[in-house]
Amino acid sequence: MREVAYLAVADVDSAIAALAAHKNSMLLAGGTNVVDYLRAGAISPSVLVDISKVPITDVQVGEAGFTIGGLARMSDVAANPGMRAFFPVVSQALELSASAQLRNMATIGGNLMQRTRCGYFREAGFACNKRTPGSGCAARDGLNRPHAVLGGSGHCVATHPSDLAVALAALDAMMHLQGPAGVRQIALTDFYRMPGDTPQLENALQSGEMIVQVSANGTPGAAGSHYLKVRERASYEFAVVSVAAVVNASGGVIETARIAFGGVGTVPWRDHAAEHALAGVIAADSGALRLAADAALAGAEPLTHNGFKIEMGRRALVRAVQTAAGAR
């Protein structure tokens, strides 16, 4: 691993000051992504600012909503009794991520900032516009089974790997970012950027800012919300396709649904077209649900090896919605 300087800070203000004071500095929390990609050469900060002991780990949950400190551990958030009761989609997305060891380390802010698992991003010998802007994209004409069918560009088709972000997208979660100018809020679905011709710019976090909190309001159906994750093996694996479903049903009829997909997009993919199509459908009517699901993932453009994700995503949607509606 190339040499890197290190300093630890004890509070948010010190972290922001350290980011401003040191060129090419990067925050380090749980380390599960930063240390791995630093060692692989996919990222190359000069200074690591360790925020792992900054005490913004509080988790508050009620039926009306939740706030999560940016440095709360994945395992602690998932196991929070209020989260399990009122927003199970969050607990499920977290516990279907990584492994027990990694969830004990990784933070919520770090999870939302994690880089893609595109194999070409990781390996310095391949062209990757995200790692080395202007070098090209080895994935577009390479082995692209795990890549995105939505939101890609000629410059990048890497998926965003976070399960948590998919659940939060369905809940209309807000990100709270603190920088030299204070705290600002941005919707999670506005936080992530499509790659366009600048795939190295992945989100709205400005230089010198950090994620200090994530929050969401309660919504009808949240207590039955569900996260369905389809993987290449039964556990400890990133999603091929995933669905976060928050469904408000009355008398077996879907009134409103909030749907987001993982594994298919370059960003966590909130799908309003699918939500419109699901409204009014009887949740137990699998045939009607399957017809509605055809509206999902509209505009998908498969690459050579990942066309199966479109049908898989629609079938996963049916199952996730039925589970969330209590119809299976």
Partner 1 sequence: MTNAHTGDHALEPGFDHTVTTVVNGVPCELPVAAGMSLLDALREHLRLRGTKKGCNQGACGACTVHVDGRRVLSCLTLAVQCDGREVTTIEGLAGPGETLHPMQAAFVAADGFQCGYCTPGQVMSAVALLAEGHGGSDEEIREWMSGNLCRCGAYNGILSAIKAVRDSGTGDTDA
For residue 40, state whether it binds partner 1 (rule: CB under 8 A).
yes
Q: Which is nearer to partner 1, 111 or 248 (CB)?
A: 111
Closest alpha carbon to 195 in 131, 240, 277: 131
Q: Which residues contact 289 (CB under 8 A, 6 or more apart)?
A: 278, 281, 283, 318, 321, 322
CB of 292 to partner 1, least distance (A): 32
Q: Which is nearer to partner 1, 79 or 288 (CB)?
A: 79
Q: Which is nearer to partner 1, 52 or 132 (CB)?
A: 52
For residue 44, state whether it binds partner 1 (rule: CB under 8 A).
no
Bridge partners (DSSP) of residue 179 are 182
CB of 273 to partner 1, least distance (A): 34
- Residue from the set 12, 27, 38, 300 that interacts with partner 1 by CB under 8 A: 38
Give Cα 11 distance to the centre of its chain.
25
Question: Reading across the β-sheet that carries 210-217, which strands appear in turn?
Answer: 59-62, 65-69, 210-217, 174-179, 182-187
Length of the chain (residues): 328
- Residue from the set 6, 64, 134, 287 that interacts with partner 1 by CB under 8 A: 6
- Number of residues counted as binding partner 1 (CB under 8 A): 29
How many Cβ atoms are within 10 Å of 121's Cβ, its own excluded?
25
CB of 234 to partner 1, least distance (A): 8
CB of 28 to partner 1, least distance (A): 7
Binding mask 82-101 for partner 1 (x = CB under 8 A): ----------------xxxx
Q: Which is nearer to partner 1, 53 or 272 (CB)?
A: 53
- Residue from the set 19, 48, 137, 177 that interacts with partner 1 by CB under 8 A: 48
167 token code pair:
């659940």
Q: Which is nearer to partner 1, 135 or 235 (CB)?
A: 235
Residue pair 262/163 in contact (Cβ under 8 Å)? The answer is yes
Binding mask 101-140 for partner 1 (x = CB under 8 A): xx-xx-----------------------------------
- Residue from the set 17, 26, 41, 52 that interacts with partner 1 by CB under 8 A: 52
For residue 50, state whether it binds partner 1 (rule: CB under 8 A).
yes
Cα–Cα distance for residue pair 73/185, rounded to 1 Å: 21
Residue pair 18/179 in contact (Cβ under 8 Å)? The answer is no
CB of 31 to partner 1, least distance (A): 5
Q: Which residues contact 245 (CB under 8 A, 6 or more apart)?
A: 89, 170, 225, 226, 227, 228, 257, 258, 259, 317, 320, 321, 323, 324
For residue 215, state whether it binds partner 1 (rule: CB under 8 A).
no
- Residue from the set 15, 18, 32, 297 that interacts with partner 1 by CB under 8 A: 32
CB of 69 to partner 1, least distance (A): 17
Cα–Cα distance for residue pair 278/295, rounded to 1 Å: 9
| Cα separations in angstroms, 255 against 47, 250, 258, 281 | 51, 7, 10, 8
Q: Which residues bind partner 1 (CB under 8 A)?
A: 1-6, 8, 28, 31-32, 35-36, 38-40, 48, 50, 52, 75, 98-102, 104-105, 234-236
